[in-house]
Amino acid sequence: MSNKYSGLIPASQREAPRYSQMLEAITSAFTKQQRVSSSLVSSFDLDKAIGVQLDVIGKWIGGTRRIFAPIEDYFFSFDRESLGFDYGYWKNRYDSEYGYVDLDDDNFRTVLRAKIGANNWNGTSQTLPAILQSIYPKKDILISFTDNQDMTMTVTVKGKSISTITKEIIRQGYLAIKPAGITVNYEITEG
């Protein structure tokens, strides 16, 4: 037998082949169900989920993949081969440089980590640094804060190279973890 229930057959019934076949037929469905259920846990892990799975996690957490940001790689440019003649769209004077953009999985995962941190934060300045550092677990971007003691706080974001979409996520407050009634000022430093 191919499942864990075969070891539970009483000794007196082990010699009955039809009984063993019947038990195999009934319990194989339960075994398959248990395998599928255990794979769901890893499939919806924040660090491993991709695409639609990450969207489902976003619904549970309360984050959205779509943000209002600068449109990149769309309008004609002499500097980029992929946006040269016959590739990029010509920008008219009424065309906006901003639009709704769906975040890629890595940036969306970052927004979800910030939302999880905000949902679990107890509001004290002692626990905030650990939450801010958990937003970027690769440590390629460091986040720190300063309480200005005037109902404002300054969040400093430092990284070697910070993409335009990451800057927009920060500016729009998607990574905002702050106490109620406090104004947050962002400082982004590259290099």
pLDDT digits (tens, 9 = 90+) for 69-126: 776 665 656 666 655 565 555 556 766 677 788 888 998 999 999 899 888 888 888 8
User: What is the structure's pLDDT at 75?
Assistant: 60
Among residues 131, 170, 169, which one has the least CA distance to residue 154?
Answer: 170
Tokens matching residue 62: 């309360």
Answer yes or no: do 148 and 166 share one domain. yes
Task: Check if the beta carbon of residue 132 is closer than 8 Å to that of residue 176.
Answer: no
Answer yes or no: do 155 and 177 share one domain. yes
Residues 77, 79, 83, 84, Cα dihedral to 10°: 80
Return the higher-pLDDT residue of 152 and 11: 152
Answer yes or no: do 107 and 180 share one domain. yes
User: What is the structure's pLDDT at 2?
Assistant: 64
Could you tell me if residue 123 is inside a domain?
yes
User: What is the structure's pLDDT at 81?
Assistant: 61
- Threshold 0.85, pTM exceeds: no
DSSP letter for 83, please: G
Answer yes or no: do 131 and 162 share one domain. yes
Count the neighbouring beta carbons within 10 Å of the beta carbon of residue 188: 15
Return the higher-pLDDT residue of 5 and 1: 5
How many structural domains are present in the chain? 2
Q: How far is CA 116 from CA 97, 120, 124, 190, in A?
A: 31, 6, 16, 26
Residue 28, domain extent = 17-43
